Amino acid sequence: MTDLDRKQDRAPVPKDWTYAPAPESRDIVRLRERYGHFIGGEWIEPAETYQTISPATEEPLALIGEGTEGEVDAAVVAARDAFANGWSALPGSERAKYLFRIARILQERSREFAVLESLNGGKPIKESRDVDLPLAAAHFFYYAGWADKLEYAFPNRRPKPVGVAGQIIPWNFPLLMLAWKIAPALACGNTVVLKPAETTPLTALLFCDVLRQAELPPGVVNIVTGDGRTGAAIVDHPGVDKIAFTGSTEVGKAIQRRLAGTGKKLTLELGGKAANIVFDDCALDQAVEGIVNGIYFNQGHVCCAGSRLFAQESIYEPLVDKLKRRLETLRVGDPLDKNTDVGAINSKMQLERIVELVEAGKDEGAEIYQPPCRLPEKGYWFVPTVFTNVAQSYRIAQEEIFGPVLSVLTFRTPEEAVEKANNTPYGLSAGVWTEKGSRILWMAQRLRAGVVWANTFNRFDPTSPFGGYKESGFGREGGLHGLEPYLRFDE
Ligand code: NDP
């Protein structure tokens, strides 16, 4: 027997290459039976409650407060009090200390937060662990750095805090959106009343524990849970000076109408239908990874998701072939399994919306491809889907699906790519894949999108501003630009 034979004997080839389950333990998360609102640094027993569940199993997790107008009012009063009696007058370097503390505590407790985020929202643990949590902490670190440098950020403009900020966030990145909203608001000396989305309140409620640990003065951050009615009560409250909203274009428009003439400041971060444009000179395998990351990351529940793929005609066939083969390797299932690529759809309602739009795509004549895939019996799931043969007028090419569904279209010239990419009411993000730097710049100048990624997609950094054009909203979050909505400049 040769040496090689002996070695092969000791390491038999496995019968198949499927992954063994690798579930993350839930033990680190201690859920309470019921949660109240966090107002003035205290837990307030809610008048009404509803049940929050795990979308992967439909298991009830906890009872959550359904914020009433009275409870919103109490939160605004607490925020106003904290603003007037200390927080707004605190030197920036002191505010920064609290923000640094919050950032460090988030890092220390990141596993607990990541598990809870995946449990309540359905996103894969590897995303909440490697993307949501590090970015949320990074946002607090970044804005902590600005708190004592506002005069340098806006020289000769005497920046002052706006007052009480009402913040309404969605369910796709619950803790990260909270960080995007709260970190710049506090850095600028404002106080906050925040409402998390109805389906994903748990990490925002755990965050209240972090605030206590950081010894943030009571009333500086208040969290009121509930549905759209609670959100509307925050928007309408006369004691709120600024509204920051992330969510659907429809609700964003309604908020803008309600605020007209009130003098309240407003930023809207709304929907998107991003074009991911692939030229024939790109590194094709990398582009396929970018396309997959662009649309299947977080089940496609991403406002800047690359939901329209524009493939240059000359590479259409090899690109679609590679993409389909790559889809077969995506693992759909338990969000708490460390091998999972695509988790659960966030809610029954969202699943119904995805199904409706996919049916519309089939009816209008697009060709559907879904890889073979066994879905769990309970919970809300959708197989990663690609549509080819899509016309620009189809609903799947026009409307935000907010699910793991990609529409593939084609183009011949850069001019045509720009024209088709811009043919949407939205303007949040876009991607360009080409080896030519000059072409990237040429495209970026012409694409009507707040962010244009080149040879990558869905990259985020707290230093870089994010926001939209057209029906994707206005105002920027992140970077120096993200400070401005939380400041007034009295000359
Ligand atoms: P919404 O816009 O309804 O939700 C966003 C947030 O606003 C939630 O906290 C919500 O509360 C709250 N809200 C709802 N109605 C009002 C109101 N009248 N006044 C103030 N606040 C309100 O989005 P949905 O969850 O209904 O999702 C619908 C569609 O929106 C999705 O299919 C997707 O296409 C898009 N969407 C886009 C997002 C983005 O980041 N661009 C994020 C989320 C959704 P509650 O949770 O109780 O509804």
pLDDT in tens, the chain (491 residues): 566 565 555 666 767 778 889 999 999 999 999 999 999 999 999 999 999 999 999 999 999 999 999 999 999 999 999 999 999 999 999 999 999 999 999 999 999 999 999 999 999 999 999 999 999 999 999 999 999 999 999 999 999 999 999 999 999 999 999 999 999 999 999 999 999 999 999 999 999 999 999 999 999 999 999 999 999 999 999 999 999 999 999 999 999 999 999 999 999 999 999 999 999 999 999 999 999 999 999 999 999 999 999 999 999 999 999 999 999 999 999 999 999 999 999 999 999 999 999 999 999 999 999 999 999 999 999 999 999 999 999 999 999 999 999 999 999 999 999 999 999 999 999 999 999 999 999 999 999 999 999 999 999 999 999 999 999 999 999 999 999 999 999 75
Residue with tokens 């073979």: 372
Is 188 among the residues known to form the active site? no
Angle between helices 316-328 and 284-296 (to 10 degrees): 60
Q: How far apart are CA 148 and CA 288, in angstroms?
A: 43
Q: Which residues pair with 164 in a beta bridge?
A: 191
- The residue contributing the CA closest to ligand 1 atom 19 is 232
Q: How far apart are CA 297 and CA 286, in angstroms?
A: 16
- Sheet of strand 473-474, all strands in order from the earlier edge strand to the far edge: 42-44, 37-39, 221-223, 191-195, 164-168, 242-246, 265-269, 473-474
Provide the sign of the torsion angle of the four alpha carbons 247, 169, 68, 31, taken in this order.
Answer: positive
- The residue contributing the CA closest to ligand 1 atom 26 is 248
Give residue-wise pLDDT tens across range 208-262. Answer: 999 999 999 999 999 999 999 999 999 999 999 999 999 999 999 999 999 999 9
Q: How far apart are CA 305 and CA 138, in angstroms?
A: 22
pLDDT at 490: 79
Is 303 among the residues known to form the active site? yes
- Give the three-class secondary structure for 185: helix
Q: How far apart are CA 453 and CA 433, in angstroms?
A: 9
Give residue-wise pLDDT tens across range 377-400. Answer: 999 999 999 999 999 999 999 999
- Ligand 1 centroid – CA 57 distance (Å): 23
pTM of the model: 0.95
| Phi and psi angles of residue 132, each rounded to the nearest 5 degrees, phi first | -60, -50
User: Which residues surround ligand 1 with Cβ inside 6 Å?
Assistant: 168-172, 195, 197-198, 227-228, 231-232, 235, 246-248, 251, 254-255, 270-271, 303, 350, 353, 400, 402
- Is residue 341 within 8 Å of 124, Cβ to Cβ? yes
Q: How far apart are CA 102 and CA 137, in angstroms?
A: 8
Q: How far apart are CA 358 and CA 4, in angstroms?
A: 53
